Amino acid sequence: MIVGMLLLCGLTASAQAPPAAPQAAPAAAPATPPAQATPATAPGAVSAPVMDAPLDVKAAAPPSTDELAKGDPSGTKTGTVSDVVAADSKKGLTLADVVNQAGQNRIAINFVWTLITGFLVMFMQAGFAVVETGLTRAKNANHTMMMNFMVYGFGLFAFWVCGFAIQMGGGAPYSTLGGINGLNSEYTISLFGKNFGLWGTHGFFMTHGGAYDVGAMVMFLFQMVFMDTALTIVTGTCAERWKYIAFAVSSVFMGAITYPLFANWAWGGGWLANLGNNFGLGHGYADFAGSGVVHSVGGLTALALGMMIGPRIGKYTRRGKPNAIPGHDITWVLTGCFILAFGWFGFNPGSTLAASGNGALRISSIAVNTMLAGCTGSFGAILYMWIRYGKPDASMSGNGLLAGLVAITAPSGFVNTVGAAIIGLVAGVLVCLSVEFFDRVIKVDDPVGAISVHGTNGLWGVISVGLFADGTSNYGGSWNGVNGSVTGLFYGDPSQLVAQLIGVGTLVGFVFSLSYIAGWVIDIFIGHRVPAKDELEGLDIPEMGALCYPEFVLKPEPEQMMATAGD
Amino acid sequence: MRIVGILLALAGWLLPVVALSMTQSLGARFAVCVVGIMISLVGILVVLNGAHQQNAIWKKG
């Protein structure tokens, strides 16, 4: 024990043999000065330390038990050499112990960072719940809230059963979280002489194929809350007319298949991530935190189901003119937007999956990019609405904030602050144009604007990586296995934009189609839409059995909203 | 028409993927990507949505 409290300063102890291989590789490297790597026989060389020899660490002078008993109000006595664990207490502290501790500290920092940011993302479910409930009518508040509440459980269950395995089961090693080397089995096909990774095959039920692993659990939690964000986007578009059972089945399918499949292609070592390696397209499809993987998948699935389920009764007149159906609580809407903006600090900076090593200190830049894009997004939307309609619309200001955040999600790790501000500003205007387009031209009823916020701006975010990535990021020296930094068209690499466009094409062509076909099958066997009588009455009693606001007297619908007639 | 719309959407996706092996030219790949996305969007927003709008609830009165 006494020997175990030795100090680091006298490392030159006895050192003749070549250094043993460090057990915690990357983090251990800086602990060994370059001179010590020189062969011991070279004239004038400094001897390499022996990894398992006891260290002379007396100069560290750890505080005595008596000193510690007095407390440590200044914080200078807590966390000393006394806290470095010796593997063999009889032998005492060795260099191997120190480098192993350094490695574990790095991974521990990354674990804690990833878990805490994952917890922040989980809280975004509350933000989505109140935004969507506030934007719908009071007669459907219980139903809307319950969809947002249970989508968490439905999604989590599906992801645990198979979603995680499909998404991440073949992408190891995940170096920032200790490797997670059990998740190393990807189903691939050979096309054009190249391997196309399609889905992972390890990690079902988080026990199969080495998934019962501390690093895998961190990865599961973080990826699960991302997946649930995508699922909850759909509930907004289909609100006020979606059968609860159809919602449940759709959510399970999306959490088990649709989302994990595309996420594997982008993040789990699948074919999109390897467009750089296989076809020389930049660094392959690059989506830092999921504008495409999370938001576009959610937004395009929302479009597929919104198209299929049809508009709410009263949304359009018989001539196809849209009626405004205001939500019942703008306070909820804007409060929810703030909760989401707060959660986004987990979403984007957390996507480094690290706060130590591999260029992870860029988390500060990512966080600033995130807040800037949200800010300029709300600017863009409020200016557009103010100029066009003469008033600074509250719900569109909120949607502008979210649109900016959605758009910066993919590029947040690759762009500078000017790029982030431009991306957010464009997103803020784009969300207003997109809402009008879907409302008036396409006539897909979207009570909360989720298709525009997440679908349209998710795609914009994916494209913006190919434009604004400035080539300064360095996450371990490579991205998707291609050396160097992700660089967009404006900074000299047009091939990255092509990789991003292939991602956009896959989202629009494949993800939409898969979501539509799945929704169609569910429509045939279950039916998505509630009966008209229930819709007019409000879904709280017919679907949920209880009113959200039982003590309130709800205002009757205007006549034209009851009959769909209008003009 | 719904099936046609879905087939168009899928075709628009497969086009740039297949084109990866047919040309090394960045400009050509870029152009094929844009064309593919446009085909998918037409399939979804025009053909598929058109099929749904034919029987839209607001037309039934």
- Selected for mutation to probe chain A from B7, B57, B59, B60 (highest A CB count within 10 Å) is B57
By the 8 A CB rule, do A162 and A355 touch?
A: no
Tokens of B56: 């839209």
Give the number of residues written for chain A: 567
Q: What is the chain B residue with the closest CA to A497?
A: B30
Please tell me the distance in Å from B47's CA to the nearest CA on chain A.
Answer: 11
Contacts of B53 in chain A (CB under 8 A): 443
Tokens of A294: 């999370």
Q: What is the chain B residue with the closest CA to A272?
A: B17
Question: In chain B, what is the greatest distance between 2 CA atoms, to the nearest angstrom?
Answer: 55
CB contact under 8 Å between A501 and B34, yes or no, is yes
By the 8 A CB rule, do A341 and A401 touch?
A: yes
Tokens of B37: 């996305």
Contacts of B58 in chain A (CB under 8 A): 311, 315-318, 320, 564
Q: What is the DSSP code (8-state) at residue A565?
A: -
From residue A389, alpha-carbon distances to A57, A223, A365, A382 in Å are 73, 40, 36, 10
* Mean pLDDT, residues B29-43: 97
Q: Check whether the bond before A39 is cis (ω within 30° of 0).
A: no
- Give tens-digit pLDDT for A258-302: 999 999 999 999 999 999 999 999 999 999 999 999 999 999 999
Q: Does A123 touch chain B (CB under 8 A)?
A: no
pLDDT of residue A23: 32
Contacts of B48 in chain A (CB under 8 A): 307, 516
* Residue A207 buriedness (CB in 10 A; 0-12 / 13-18 / 19+): exposed
**Nearest Cα to Cα of residue A247 among A157, A153, A151:** A151
Q: Which residues of chain A have pLDDT under 70?
A: 1-46, 558-567
Contacts of B49 in chain A (CB under 8 A): 307, 442-444
Give first-to-last CA distance, chain B, whole Å: 24
Chain B residues whose C-beta sits inside 8 Å of any chain A C-beta:
2, 6, 9-17, 20-21, 24, 26, 29-30, 33-34, 36-37, 40-41, 44-45, 48-49, 52-53, 56-61
Query: Per-residue DSSP letters for A378-400?
Result: HHHHHHHHHHHHSS--HHHHHHH
Q: What is d(CA A533, CA A371) in angstroms, rounded to the nearest whole number? A: 44
Please tell me the distance in Å from A313's CA to the nearest CA on chain B.
Answer: 7
Q: What is d(CA A171, CA A306) in angstroms, rounded to the nearest whole number? A: 33
pLDDT of residue A389: 94
Q: What is d(CA A284, CA A251) in angstroms, rounded to the nearest whole number? A: 29
Tokens of A467: 């434009």
Nearest to A513 among B9, B49, B60 (CB): B9
| Interface TM-score (ipTM) > 0.95 | yes
CB contact under 8 Å between B57 and A311, yes or no, is yes
Nearest to B58 among A275, A281, A316 (CB): A316
pLDDT of residue A2: 35
CB contact under 8 Å between A510 and B10, yes or no, is yes
From residue A277, alpha-carbon distances to A440, A481, B19 in Å are 43, 7, 16
Nearest to A279 among B6, B20, B37 (CB): B20
Give first-to-last CA distance, chain A, whole Å: 88
Query: Per-residue DSSP letters for A412-448?
Result: TTT--HHHHHHHHHHHHHHHHHHHHIIIIII----TT
Nearest to A315 among B9, B11, B58 (CB): B58
3-state SS class at B18: helix
Give the number of residues written for chain B: 61
By the 8 A CB rule, do A398 and A131 touch?
A: yes
Nearest to B58 among A311, A504, A510 (CB): A311
Residue showing tokens 């889905």: A199
Q: How many CB atoms lie within 10 A of CB B58?
A: 25
Q: What is the chain A residue with the closest CA to B36?
A: A505
Contacts of A318 in chain B (CB under 8 A): 58-59, 61
CB contact under 8 Å between B52 and A307, yes or no, is yes
Rg (CA), chain A: 27
Q: What is d(CA A248, CA A451) in angstroms, rounded to the nearest whole number? A: 20
